[in-house]
Copies of this chain bind each other. A is one copy, B any other.
């Protein structure tokens, strides 16, 4: 169960309206690795967590914070959209600058949401439940969370460089800092799972090694021209999971013959052979 405070976690107020930036900020709100994705990913991981205690609490702490980040970006977008002059469209027919600004905005910010945020990304594509993963395996999920926070921080830093509005930058500095924390926290949580003896590499670690084809578990196949790929630490030496040694196959060959499929039964009207 949730409770909503009226105040924001951190200020989200631009110095001046900028509807083009509002369109760009949608990526941080409703993009594949935006705030909505992490909020929902963590909520579903929390509700799907079958390990009570510190892990579940950590997940739900973070999930709930991410809802506050969705709210911050949503508020920032609403404010960036304010101040459109009543005759912008008429002006645009005469003034290249007005026309250029209108051309760079999201039409749905005007027609659909009436100067509010959309649950969509910077290209206007709606947010999708397919963006989130909650597998029930905490090591796999925490690793993914750390990686998504990296992508999210990367996008926030790119948007940071697209504006010099002090208010927007102040908010982004906070978001970028939180992404730093979340990268660190999920990686620490992976370490904790190892320390607690619950999970390790390769994930899932409880799958019996005897059911894995170990002959191919530590081999790099060179399927592209050139063998520069043999020069990295992924091609020789001990593997990060501590269970094997990398080896390199320079010229891999098919291990099975061409599959020859029999004709489909006649009621499907496939082409007979």
Cα separation A244 to B204 with both chains bound (whole Å) = 30
A64 touches B158 (CB 8 A): no
Copies in the complex: 6
Q: Tell me the minimal C-beta distance from A141 to chain B in angstroms.
A: 8
Contact with B along A141-154 (1 / 0, CB 8 A): 00110111011011
Selected contact of A234 from candidates B60, B106, B151, B189, CB within 8 Å: B189
B contact residues around A218 at 8 Å (CB): 180-181, 184
B contact residues around A246 at 8 Å (CB): 184-185, 188
A154-B204, A181-B218, A220-B61 given; A135·B119 CB < 8 A: no
A114-B264, A158-B114, A189-B232 given; A256·B6 CB < 8 A: no
22 A–B pairs (Cβ distance < 8 Å), ordered by A: A2-B3, A7-B254, A12-B259, A44-B116, A47-B74, A48-B116, A50-B261, A57-B226, A61-B223, A62-B223, A65-B223, A89-B161, A113-B136, A136-B271, A144-B144, A144-B148, A176-B212, A176-B213, A178-B217, A187-B240, A188-B246, A198-B271
B contact residues around A74 at 8 Å (CB): 44, 47-48
B6 touches A4 (CB 8 A): no
B203 touches A233 (CB 8 A): no
Q: Tell me the minimal C-beta distance from A150 to chain B in angstroms.
A: 4
Flag whether A15 is at the interface (Cβ < 8 A): no
A136-B113, A137-B271, A204-B153 given; A255·B9 CB < 8 A: yes
Q: Tell me the minimal C-beta distance from A86 to chain B in angstroms.
A: 6
Q: Tell me the minimal C-beta distance from A108 to chain B in angstroms.
A: 5
**CB closest chain-B residue, reference A241:** B184
- 3 closest cross-chain pairs (CB), A and B: A7-B254, A123-B124, A114-B136
A144-B151, A239-B184 given; A68·B8 CB < 8 A: no
A50 touches B140 (CB 8 A): no
B12 touches A271 (CB 8 A): no
Selected contact of A60 from candidates B4, B78, B123, CB within 8 Å: B4
Contact with B along A207-250 (1 / 0, CB 8 A): 10001111111111111111111111110000111001010000
B215 touches A136 (CB 8 A): no
